[in-house]
């Protein structure tokens, strides 16, 4: 029996995933977590064969949780789930040690297949993600991270802060929306400005407009 821990902050999503996995006789959901610390605590308790982890999580985003899990449990397969376009986070997740990446729009058969695959030690990727991986490596296996557009070098949380700053939100408003302290948001803001190469929020907003125009 494959023992699954589901980590997603939305109860209705966790229930939906449980219903999907219930279709497989060899899969059992043994735990649910609504946040990263809870997921790590349950992983420490043992009895988990694979973690299904949502990327968009409160407090600590899914990529941060992934790094923590792989640091403490390097052999525990983590299957990332997301509603974001594959190109935004798939390659980044796999580089951080995810055993697979699956969009939440996937059908039940594909999700069950993904759980089985990563539990057997195989990497699960869809054809679209495979294309992204191929594009992420240049001739001779050279990573192409340095060739990526500036805004695509941001972490998940940095990208969230970037979008909200570009929309004219204040540090306080962003902190309230993302359930973070203002100091933490200010730290993310400083990282965003540095990575994009702008000096203030006005230049950041202009940069966002240019990216939108480029599609």
| Residues 45 and 113 reside in one and the same domain | yes
Which of 87, 109, 135 delimits the end of a domain? 135
Which of 83, 104, 135 delimits the end of a domain? 135
Question: Token pair of 155, please?
Answer: 């972490």
pTM of the model: 0.67
Domain membership of residue 23 (yes or no) is yes
| Residues 66 and 125 reside in one and the same domain | yes
6 beta partners: 32, 52
pLDDT in the model for residue 144: 39
CATH number at residue 79: 3.40.50.2300
Task: Determine the 3-state secondary structure of 170 from DSSP.
Answer: coil
| Residues 102 and 190 reside in one and the same domain | no
| Residues 116 and 174 reside in one and the same domain | no
Q: Contact 91/134 with Cβ under 8 angstroms?
A: no
Domain membership of residue 140 (yes or no) is no
What stretches in the chain show pLDDT beneath 50? 137-147, 214-215
| Residues 22 and 117 reside in one and the same domain | yes
Q: Which residues contact 28 (CB under 8 A, 6 or more apart)?
A: 1, 2, 3, 4, 21
User: What is the Cα Rg of the chain in Å?
Assistant: 18
Domain membership of residue 144 (yes or no) is no
Question: Token pair of 211, please?
Answer: 């990216």
Q: Tell me which residue range forms the domain holding 177.
A: 149-214
In angstroms, what CA-CA distances link 133 with 47, 93, 138, 144? 32, 11, 10, 10
Sign of CA dihedral 43, 48, 49, 53: negative
Number of domains into which the chain is organized: 2
| Residues 34 and 111 reside in one and the same domain | yes
pLDDT in the model for residue 136: 52
pLDDT digits (tens, 9 = 90+) for 4-46: 999 999 999 999 999 999 999 999 999 999 999 999 999 999 9
Domain membership of residue 141 (yes or no) is no
Domain membership of residue 28 (yes or no) is yes
| Residues 78 and 153 reside in one and the same domain | no
Q: Which residues contact 204 (CB under 8 A, 6 or more apart)?
A: 162, 165, 166, 192, 193, 196, 198
Domain membership of residue 117 (yes or no) is yes
CATH number at residue 181: 1.10.10.10
Interatomic CA distance for residues 143 and 132, integer angstroms: 12
Task: Determine the 3-state secondary structure of 191 from DSSP.
Answer: helix
């Amino acid at each position: 029996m494959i023992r699954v821990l589901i980590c997603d902050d939305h109860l209705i999503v966790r229930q939906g995933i449980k219903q999907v996995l219930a279709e497989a006789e060899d899969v059992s959901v043994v735990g649910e977590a609504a946040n990263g610390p809870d997921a790590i605590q349950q992983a420490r308790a043992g009895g988990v064969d694979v973690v299904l982890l949502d990327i968009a999580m409160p407090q600590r985003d899914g990529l941060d949780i992934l790094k923590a899990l792989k640091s403490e449990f390097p052999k525990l397969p983590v299957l990332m789930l997301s509603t974001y376009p594959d190109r935004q986070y798939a390659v980044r997740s796999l580089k951080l040690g995810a055993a697979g990446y699956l969009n939440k729009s996937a059908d039940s058969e594909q999700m069950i297949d993904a759980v089985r695959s990563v539990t057997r030690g195989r990497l699960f990727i869809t054809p679209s993600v495979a294309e992204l991986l191929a594009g992420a490596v240049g001739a001779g296996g050279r990573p192409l991270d340095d060739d990526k557009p500036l805004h695509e070098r941001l972490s998940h949380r940095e990208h969230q802060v970037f979008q909200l700053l570009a929309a004219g939100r204040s540090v306080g408003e962003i902190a309230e929306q993302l359930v973070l302290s203002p100091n933490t948001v200010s730290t993310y803001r400083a990282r965003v400005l540095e990575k994009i190469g702008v000096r203030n929020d006005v230049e950041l907003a202009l940069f966002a407009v240019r990216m939108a125009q480029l599609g």
